[in-house]
Amino acid sequence: MVAYLSHLSAALSWEVPHIETVLGRKISEAEPVQMTVSSNGARFSVNGKKVHSCELPLPPRAVVKLGDKLVASPELMFLQLASELSIHRLILLGLQLCSHPLGQPHRAITSKQKLRTFVARVPGHRGHRKASRAVKYIENGSASIMESLAYMILTLPHALGGYGLNGAVFNYEVKLKAELKKRLGTHRCFADLFYEKARLAIEYDSFTHHSSPTEQGRDAIRSEVLRRQGIEVMHLSTIQLYDTDACRDFAHNVARYIGKRIDIRTKKFHAMHRALRELLPESSSVTGAD
């Protein structure tokens, strides 16, 4: 029999960034410890833990050693939680699993490619259908939970409550021209969200890193440098993101710039948009989530 940490316990073991925002109230179910065993009959031999069972075959390295414990791999954990989380929280989980500090993709827990490959190899497993759907909307490279949430609101299809402005990538690296390197004191900079075809950068201006006069001055200089490189810059503030009307206005301005039109026809949009907005952390805790 194989027994390993799984589900919520695996998510905590992998230290997914801002897991409390990803899971919401679900995080209260992280105790007792959750495990999965490879035999249905063995579920009753593990005391004091919430025990799941899985007798279906799994790909190699679906269960891995983490420290001194066997743990569901990030990809298997994603599949396991597909049957427990809403589609929005599952997408957010995927974005956070694939997030990493600027310019350091090796520090991501996993990648969209690994998630997609794993999910494709486990048909018949519980949660497979929702996981397959969620993977389509996951992108590598978010650098913060708020970037992930802004991305979801702007890019998810109308049927999932987003504005359907797909095509953005996270933290696109802009290599500066020689004459502009000295202006910023670096040879490159990163655009929080970037529409490459339209040459549009969206900068998320958080309370933590963009509120002081000095920081705002640097942002203005950086924006003008990017414009010198032929990149238009739009700034999305925390206040705009949290204000439904202001965020909608921002989305329409983005749509106009990238040559799209937001024409919402699905009846699901408003309910799904509310559900999507419920993922936003309480405003009092936003500074810690930037």
Q: For residue range 121-163, list pLDDT tens digits in order.
A: 999 999 999 999 999 999 999 999 999 999 999 999 999 999 9
- Mean pLDDT is lowest, of 25-34, 91-100, 125-134, 194-203, for 25-34
pLDDT band at residue 232 under the 50/70/90 scheme:
very high
Q: What is the mean pLDDT of residues 178-186?
A: 80
Give the per-residue pLDDT at 78: 99
Q: How far is CA 41 from CA 5, 38, 162, in A?
A: 18, 9, 44
pLDDT band at residue 210 under the 50/70/90 scheme:
very low
User: Alpha-carbon distance 40 to 37, whole Å?
Assistant: 7
Pairing of strands 69-72, 63-66: antiparallel
Burial-class residue 142 by CB neighbours within 10 Å (0-12, 13-18, 19+): buried
pLDDT band at residue 42 under the 50/70/90 scheme:
low
Eight-state DSSP code of residue 21: H
Q: How far is CA 154 from CA 16, 103, 262, in A?
A: 23, 23, 11
Eight-state DSSP code of residue 123: T
C-alpha radius of gyration, the chain, whole number: 21
User: Alpha-carbon distance 242 to 239, whole Å?
Assistant: 5
The model's pLDDT over 68-81, given as tens digits with 9 standing for 90+, comes to 999 999 999 999 99
Segment 128-134 long-range contacts (CB within 8 Å, at least 24 positions apart)? 128/79, 128/82, 130/82, 130/83, 130/87, 130/90, 131/78, 131/79, 131/82, 131/90, 133/87, 134/82, 134/87, 134/90, 134/91, 134/94
Q: State yes or no: pLDDT of 276 exceeds 60.
A: yes
Model pTM? 0.92
> By C-alpha distance, which of 197, 198, 148, 137 is closest to 171?
148
Task: Determine contact, residues 18/85, Cβ cutoff 8 Å.
Answer: no
Detail the DSSP E strand segments found in the chain: 3-5, 34-37, 50-53, 63-66, 69-72, 169-175, 188-195, 200-205, 232-237
In a 13 Å sphere around the CA of 231, the CA atoms on its Cβ side amount to: 27
What percentage of the chain reaches a pLDDT higher than 90?
74
Task: Determine contact, residues 83/92, Cβ cutoff 8 Å.
Answer: no
Q: What is the mean pLDDT of residues 217-230?
A: 87
Q: Which residue in the block uniquely carries the two structure tokens 């049957």?
A: 83
Q: State yes or no: pLDDT of 186 exceeds 50.
A: yes
